[in-house]
Structure 1
Amino acid sequence: MVGFLFRVALIVLDHNDIFNPPGGNADALVFTRRAFEWSLLDWPNLLATFNYKASYVYSTIGAIFFKAFGAHNLVLPSLNFLAGMIVIFLAASMTYDLWGRKPAIISAYIMALFPFAAFNSVIALREEFSILVFLIGLFFFLKWVSGKGFGWICIAFLFFPMAVMIHPGWIGAIVGVALYLTYFSIKLILSSVKGAVANRRNISKLFSSIAVLVISLTFIAGSGGISLAKGITIGGENEEENVAGLIESRFEQDPLGGSAYPGFVATGNPYTQPWLIPMRVIYFMFSPFPWDIRSPRQALGMAAMLMYSFLAWRLYKGWPLVKKKDECIALLLIFGALVFIFSIGVTNIGTAIRHRTKFLGLFVILAASSFSTLKIRFRRL
């Protein structure tokens, strides 16, 4: 209810031009205008606009709703509103399964009240839809990791590619799953070498995951590759060349925009200056820092910096529990892959805040490992 009321207030303020959520109105206008134009087409031509490699697949979704129910500026924000409410539920539900009631309640409040998560729910951007589809896939994937049957990972791999269609950056989820598969395989082999007998469930889990992963990666490669907005190409004919030159090329361009990274973070040679990549990761996850603030509007980003610093601290406090759960190892690998992919490509603080909000729910689930020990004290004045 808190999340619902907060988002209603934001929609009212935005619709009446009292307060516009920062960083997305220009893109939202483009998505909405294109959706309206496509809604004027007949159904066959409208459906022909669907292109899973293009960011405007979100406009195709909007055009379908415009065509079916009529065009209005609040149609796409309302769909994102609904998606945002389900996102709160999914994050809290997965937290409850892993850590219990109190961490789930705290997680729900974070997802409901974190400003930048709420902004995604009330403006016409593809972020909220992609977050929803990713978290649905993550929900089923965790069920499989915890020991459920083959069907759960099959359902998960229906949703992960859908998330990639809406926003290609979610390819990090598939990369993270591949990393978990490698970890699990090595773990199983080492235990067998030491004399432990691999049980039937683990062997079935290994072969089922390999089968689904191979099918998914074959689909991506066979479709000509997925080109990410951040300069990353997965699959396709020139994959080797793109991957080889990716990291260095991402450090050759000067940062743009009023909230661009400082030059010592954005440019250089990552091979002769190996600290550049960790600096990129730090700036992506925790900026803006006080010395980066140039306007009152940018100061709003401090809320993001404080929230992600808090979550990192709680993850550190709960690390003894996190490292013991296979589900958390899988979450960490997916989280790490997403952070690395976006960190390399982003050189603007505003863009960093928008992109890292995509996996706020994933970060909250991990940080919730220590929420049960969190105490809020009010001192009597």
Structure 2
Amino acid sequence: MRYYLILLLSEGFISLTTQDILDRELLALFYVVLNVLFFILYFYRKSEDKTLFMILVGGLMLRMAALYYDRNVAWLPFNTTDAQRFHELSVETANALPDVLLEHFTGFYSQVLGVIYYIFGPYQFWGHFLNISFVMLAATKLLDIADLMKLTLTNKKIMSFIWMFAPIPFLMSYALLREGSMYYFVVLSIYYFLKWTKDYRLFNIIMAVLSVYIGSKYHEGVIAVAVPYLYAFVFYDRQKNKIKMNGLNIACITTAFIVFLAFIGSEAGQEYIQKTNAETGGGSAYLTNLKVETPLDFLFAGPIKAVFLVYSPMPWLVRNGMDIITLLLDSSLWIYTTYLFAKNYKTIDSRYKLLMLCIILGGFVYGMGTLNTGTAIRHRNKLMAFTLVLMMAIKNNVDLDYEKREMIE
């Protein structure tokens, strides 16, 4: 990230100081080409073999082709009115700078993009490309995570391939939406959390929580995954590499549960509960008869809504060919990871169990406010990095155990 940040800062300085001399749009186009070359060289440096390099470059080129098609031929899925509204608000913010930083209903993302537009020019393709850049940075950070987990080269390739070519993250990465940036900060938080379980430096757990906090500025629901990080910081046994289940731990869990119940019963909690009953349209709506009106309803509905968010479309709710494709190419990742987790639970390292807790809490928070399959798919993919890392960690251990048994036999 630091090398790319230096490149972006240099480009921004040139754009600001030459805006009355050079054509800013041509300069932004030149930056796109320059940054693509940067990523190709960086992928070459990070790749252990030609196949891994081609997976990374192929994912980048596919997104660049989608960006070109979307900007010059026709809008692609997910680049809808929301994306256009983000662009319009960001242009409005850029026009108000440097006198005032406007605030809008889209909040942090439109403000950040507005500052970027102010520096580089209000060119929508540049905003799209920066989203692609964040996904590419996340891909390289996933390779760092793979090194921390000591994944085999084969499993590194599988993880990179899924990240680069899974349909929903691909569709989100070229659209002018908040997801691209959030993906990176979620991956960054996982990296620092796993690094902390290696060296227990305070800096790493601070960076893990800070990364989640920055991600939550784009969409507040992601802050839920900071809870397992903080929980681990307090109760992770460094000698035994697992969570210490003692009286203090149980007391803290009980207190947190009581505080949560108190919040749900408060006026602010009631406002949150009402969001779970919002009206929704479209044929993909689910649980329409499940009304949440009391704290008890909330506790009952939360797990159900979390399950629907993580696994939608449910097989009995499949409507058409698109739902079948989603089930096979997206939902299957979450189903398979859950299967691996349940099957190998006793042998899974505690740090990876905490990643599953991140998924559960994230699913609970996002699930409560989600009422249809389309929104569920979009929200759960904010947590995709947790699922991917967890799946590959379990798979890698299973593969190594199998190889050991083969050698013994």
- TM-score by structure 1 length? 0.74
In structure 1, list runs of 5 or more residues that go unmatched.
Answer: 193-233, 376-381
Residue equivalent to 2:91: 36
Identity among equivalent pairs (%): 19
Residue equivalent to 1:78: 129
Residue equivalent to 1:328: 352
Secondary structure of the corresponding residue to residue 44 of structure 1: coil
CA distance in 2, matches of 1:277, 1:81: 33
1:188-228 superposed Cα distances (whole Å, 9 cap, x missing partner)? 47499xxxxxxxxxxxxxxxxxxxxxxxxxxxxxxxxxxxx
Question: Which among 109, 119, 128 is matched to residue 68 of structure 1?
Answer: 119
Residue equivalent to 2:176: 124
User: Which has the higher mean CA deviation after the structures are superposed, 291-300 or 172-181?
Assistant: 291-300
1:91 pairs with 2:142: yes
Letter in 2 for 1:132: Y
Once the two structures are TM-superposed, the CA of residue 307 in structure 1 deviates from its matched residue by 2.8
CA distance in 1, matches of 2:339, 2:150: 17
Contact 1:146 1:326 in 2 (8 A): no
Once the two structures are TM-superposed, the CA of residue 76 in structure 1 deviates from its matched residue by 1.1
CA distance in 1, matches of 2:115, 2:297: 51
CA distance in 2, matches of 1:242, 1:367: 40
Once the two structures are TM-superposed, the CA of residue 358 in structure 1 deviates from its matched residue by 0.7
CA distance in 1, matches of 2:308, 2:127: 31
CA distance in 1, matches of 2:116, 2:279: 40
1:156 pairs with 2:156: no
CA distance in 2, matches of 1:137, 1:119: 23
1:4 pairs with 2:60: yes
Residue equivalent to 2:187: 135
Q: Structure 2 vs 1, CA of residues 15 and 175 (structure 1 numbering), >3 Å: closer, same or farther?
A: same
Superposition map of 1:245-284 within 5 A:
245=270, 249=274, 252-264=277-289, 266-267=290-291, 271=296, 276-284=301-309
Superposition map of 1:1-381 within 5 A:
1-18=57-74, 20-22=76-78, 24-45=79-100, 48-49=101-102, 55-101=106-152, 102-181=154-233, 183-184=235-236, 187-188=243-244, 190=246, 241-242=266-267, 244-245=269-270, 249=274, 252-264=277-289, 266-267=290-291, 271=296, 276-302=301-327, 303-322=329-348, 325-372=349-396, 373=398
Once the two structures are TM-superposed, the CA of residue 369 in structure 1 deviates from its matched residue by 2.6
Contact 1:92 1:105 in 2 (8 A): no
Kindly tell me the number of residue pairs found equivalent between the two proteins.
Answer: 325
Once the two structures are TM-superposed, the CA of residue 43 in structure 1 deviates from its matched residue by 1.1
1:101-160 superposed Cα distances (whole Å, 9 cap, x missing partner)? 232221111101101011121000011112212221331122112233222222333322
CA distance in 2, matches of 1:307, 1:340: 18
Contact 2:90 2:117 in 1 (8 A): yes
In structure 2, list runs of 5 or more residues that go unmatched.
Answer: 1-56, 249-258, 401-409
CA distance in 1, matches of 2:110, 2:386: 26
Contact 1:96 1:103 in 2 (8 A): no
CA distance in 2, matches of 1:351, 1:263: 14
Once the two structures are TM-superposed, the CA of residue 67 in structure 1 deviates from its matched residue by 1.5
Once the two structures are TM-superposed, the CA of residue 82 in structure 1 deviates from its matched residue by 0.4
CA distance in 2, matches of 1:328, 1:2: 29
User: Which has the higher mean CA deviation after the structures are superposed, 181-190 or 13-22?
Assistant: 181-190
User: Which has the higher mean CA deviation after the structures are superposed, 353-362 or 165-174?
Assistant: 165-174
Secondary structure of the corresponding residue to residue 99 of structure 2: helix
Contact 2:205 2:233 in 1 (8 A): no
Secondary structure of the corresponding residue to residue 124 of structure 2: coil
Contact 1:177 1:333 in 2 (8 A): no
CA distance in 1, matches of 2:245, 2:388: 32
Once the two structures are TM-superposed, the CA of residue 327 in structure 1 deviates from its matched residue by 2.1
Letter in 1 for 2:225: A
CA distance in 2, matches of 1:307, 1:187: 27
CA distance in 2, matches of 1:370, 1:149: 25
Q: Structure 2 vs 1, CA of residues 366 and 69 (structure 1 numbering), >3 Å: closer, same or farther?
A: same
Contact 2:103 2:111 in 1 (8 A): yes
Contact 2:159 2:392 in 1 (8 A): yes
Letter in 2 for 1:308: W
Once the two structures are TM-superposed, the CA of residue 247 in structure 1 deviates from its matched residue by 7.6
Q: Structure 2 vs 1, CA of residues 374 and 166 (structure 1 numbering), >3 Å: closer, same or farther?
A: same
Residue equivalent to 1:196: none
Contact 1:146 1:327 in 2 (8 A): no
- TM-score by structure 2 length? 0.69
